[in-house]
Chain A
Amino acid sequence: DQQVKQNSPSLSVQEGRISILNCDYTNSMFDYFLWYKKYPAEGPTFLISISSIKDKNEDGRFTVFLNKSAKHLSLHIVPSQPGDSAVYFCAASYGGTSYGKLTFGQGTILTVHP
């Protein structure tokens, strides 16, 4: 069973516009959520995270929103740049887990056109 789902395999946006990547989860025990970014032939790199006690977290051009009632989170990138083109994974962790045991979504390929 897929506990973390990214239903859009790909997203294409124009440079300067907003990119919105979505993620849904089914397990209400998840209480920490993360986004990772992956370029081809490289490992994923941590981007931004959010705890379930918050509904928004910002870091520069990246903002993550969490809607606990809908079990939905989204990553907003504003403005999008061609260098943002990569695969984006959302991930979730169980409450009380003190190590990096993460459940990942399938990933969304973001393409930002110049």
Chain B
Amino acid sequence: GAGVSQSPSNKVTEKGKDVELRCDPISGHTALYWYRQSLGQGLEFLIYFQGNSAPDKSGLPSDRFSAERTGGSVSTLTIQRTQQEDSAVYLCASSLDAWEKLFFGSGTQLSVL
């Protein structure tokens, strides 16, 4: 595909369950980012990948959050033992080298009941 693809687009889960969110970046983009947007808030940086390594994971809110990237392409964000405050839109972005031109996916709307 031409753009950043995220799945699922919507996810409803029960408190305490684990969820996995997937991101397919634009082909050839080496940098990949996860952001989240809580209701009424701006986008919040979570983690940055360059290739398969994550030099900056400073934005992950707790150790319940983890992310990996394989083959320099697909990335998965995992949230364990979800809490209601995890409800947000999780956005993935990728970039080639001009970092200001992040290309965002449409996001995954996560609702924790």
Q: Which residues of A contact B (CB under 8 A)?
A: 4, 6, 32, 34, 41-46, 49, 89, 91, 93, 98-107
State whether the Cβ of B65 lies closer than 8 Å to any Cβ in chain A.
Answer: no
Stretch from B13-21, B38-46, B75-83 forming part of the interface with A: B38-46
State whether the Cβ of B25 lies closer than 8 Å to any Cβ in chain A.
Answer: no
Bound complex: CA A4 to CA B42 (Å): 9
Q: How many residues on chain B are close to A (CB under 8 Å)?
A: 26
Bound complex: CA A92 to CA B71 (Å): 30
Bound complex: CA A46 to CA B101 (Å): 6
| Interface pairs A-B: 9 shortest CB-CB | A43-B104, A104-B42, A104-B43, A100-B99, A100-B102, A106-B42, A44-B104, A105-B42, A46-B101
Q: Which one of A6, A43, A98, A103 contacts B93 once the chains associate, using CB atoms below 8 Å?
A: A43
A6, A43, A44, A49: residue with the most chain B Cβ atoms closer than 10 Å: A43
Chain A, Cβ-Cβ closest to B92: A43
Chain A, Cβ-Cβ closest to B100: A49
Chain B 21-56 interface mask (CB, 8 Å, partner A; 1/0): 000000000010101000011111100101000001
